[in-house]
Chains A and B, each alone.
Chain A
Amino acid sequence: MSIPPAALLLLGIALAGAALALAAFVWAVREGQLDPDNSGASVVFLDEDEEDGRE
């Protein structure tokens, strides 16, 4: 059974995409982006937007 060239193309792209995602994950762990201290949650308040969205 031969593998169609389009399938090989898709396989290559899928593997490259997975490698990219894995690299991003490793980067995030090394940088401490995924540390379980919840401090990142306050980033939404850094833009000093004093308006609170009320009518």
Chain B
Amino acid sequence: MSTAVQDRPDSLLPLRQLMDERAAAPVLLYFSTAVFWLLAGTAFGIASSLKFDAPDWLGGVPALTFGRIRPAHLNAVTYGWASLAGAGCLVWLTSRLCLVPVQWRSCLIASAALWNAGVLYGVGSILFGYSTGVEWLEFPLPAAGIAAVAFLLFAASILRTFSRRTVDHVYVSLWYILAAVVWFPILYVVANLPVYSGVMHGVVNWWYGHNALAVWFTPIGLALAYYFIPKIIGRPIYSYYLSLLGFWTFGLFYNWNGVHHLVGGPVPNWLQTISIIASVLMVIPVLAVAVNHHLTTVGRFSALRASPALRFTVFGAMSYTAVSFQGSTEALRDVQQTVHFTHYTIGHAHLGVYAFLTMILFGAMYYITPRVARWNWPRPGWIKAHFWLTASGILLYVGAMCLGGFLQGRALNNPAIPFTSVVDLTRPYLTLRTLSGVLIGAGHLIFAALFAQVLYRRGPRSGEAGAP
């Protein structure tokens, strides 16, 4: 992480260079461990999917049965990959938007180490049969405790950097970052308290599960999109005021959504209705984001060809609009009657966490990594392959699961169709899902190889930090 300019006094360095240099160690630590979890999580995902095609495969090894590797996939990609990559991006972006070098870097280094220890402990516990069995909260208490300390240390550093800012205006991305770092650690700690039982446990479970998206992953994705789209295109957000309206309505509506996961379940009706109404109200902040990103980009779509960072980011931002509108309709009781407990939900989840969040994280990492590592991306052709493999893979994934899930739901509601016929009906879609997983996995291997080359300063292209 050390660079040639480090022995010069800080005051001589341009501010941008100083900020990137100070951010380098924590950001690259978050990024490189995130890439590890991306590969591990992808392997768990593809293996889980293959079990639908070959149910007996690996069935003799308890740690590799479906009931364990499926939650291992979810936890590795969300708390490992997306959270660590997101944290690295937020560290860098907060420094840029506050125009002050990252503060309390030792907190961040400790946070990254504990974060990884918590996820390793947690995913290992799941594989060896010590999962809590509560979806999204499978980590046993000690692992969750370690992760919680990591989140708090991360939040402390971000808030310290914010408090030392030299820019008076709090940019819209910074509002999203503040919401994420203030809310998520509280959410995680409260949801993990061992004090709930019965129906309340279910409600708290989905209040948490949905808010992990609402106050952690979505703000990360939107903060990055609101920075990189205007930044790379070179013109400001089309209606900045609208973007702020979008943030505050997002804050007001999104955290009520969780109970829509329990529509039709043994939960008070008024609670379900409130969450459905809030899910539909999400149309307002989503439109504010969609209109703004579209009108900022319109007429400059050629920039997508030149900048891989922008290409991934715009793909992610468009997916945000798609997944949000899908979610608003999916929460309705009439739609739930068909799609609840089907593969449709899995398609929706991947449109959110992959097509939206992960693609934006890739875009941000293509921009941030060469600046902090002071080494250019080698092999532009590989970057293109990464984009097209993951983009086509996730579109195939979401298309197959949503169509297959919809047909599955229709068939399940028809008492004349035997259950085994419904299972047979879904099989071609599940095979398509495995195929899409292979495409996505190939893209990830390429990305990991590219990332390693930058980290170890290998590859045909070298030079000053900058480009891609």
Contact = CB atoms under 8 A, between A and B. Distances in A.
Interface of A: 4-7, 9-10, 13, 17, 20-21, 24-25, 28, 33-34, 36-49, 51-55
B19 A54 contact: no
Contacts of A9: 193, 195
5 shortest A-B CB distances, which residue pairs?
Answer: A41-B236, A41-B240, A43-B171, A53-B232, A38-B240
A13 B190 contact: yes
Contacts of A33: 169-170, 244
B124 interface: no
Interface residues of B, number: 50
Contact of B468 (A5, A6, A55): A55
B307 to A, nearest CB: 4
Contacts of A7: 200
6 contacts: A6-B197, A17-B183, A36-B241, A40-B169, A40-B240, A53-B307
A55 B302 CA distance: 13
A52 B248 CA distance: 30
B200 A55 contact: no
Given A38-B240, A55-B306, A28 B170 contact: yes
Contact of B230 (A4, A5, A44, A49): A44
A53 B171 contact: no
Contacts of B16: 47-49
Contacts of A48: 14-16
A28 B468 CA distance: 36
Nearest to A55: B380
Contacts of A28: 170
Given A47-B99, A53-B306, 6 more contacts: A33-B169, A43-B171, A44-B97, A44-B171, A46-B167, A54-B467
Interface string B174-199: 00001000110010001001011100
Interface of B: 14-16, 19, 96-97, 99, 167, 169-173, 178, 182-183, 186, 190, 193, 195-197, 200, 204, 227-228, 230-232, 234, 236-237, 239-241, 243-244, 248, 251, 306-310, 367, 371, 380, 466-468
Nearest to A20: B182
Contacts of B237: 41
A33 B204 CA distance: 34
A17, A28, A43 — which one has the most chain B CB atoms within 10 A of its CB?
A43
Most buried by B among A10, A28, A44, A46: A44
A42 to B, nearest CB: 6
Nearest to B232: A53
Given A45-B231, A46-B167, A52-B234, A13 B186 contact: yes
A47 to B, nearest CB: 5
Given A21-B251, A25-B248, A40-B240, A54 B307 contact: yes
A46 B309 CA distance: 20
A49 B310 CA distance: 16
Nearest to A43: B171
Contacts of A13: 186, 190
A46 B14 CA distance: 13
Contacts of A39: 169, 240
A34 B306 CA distance: 34
A28 B234 CA distance: 27
Q: Select the residue from A36, A40, A48 with max chain B CB neighbours within 10 A.
A: A40
The residue in A24, A47, A49 that gathers the most chain B C-beta atoms within 10 A of its C-beta is A47
B372 to A, nearest CB: 13
Nearest to A35: B241
A21 B254 CA distance: 13
A44 to B, nearest CB: 5
A21 to B, nearest CB: 6
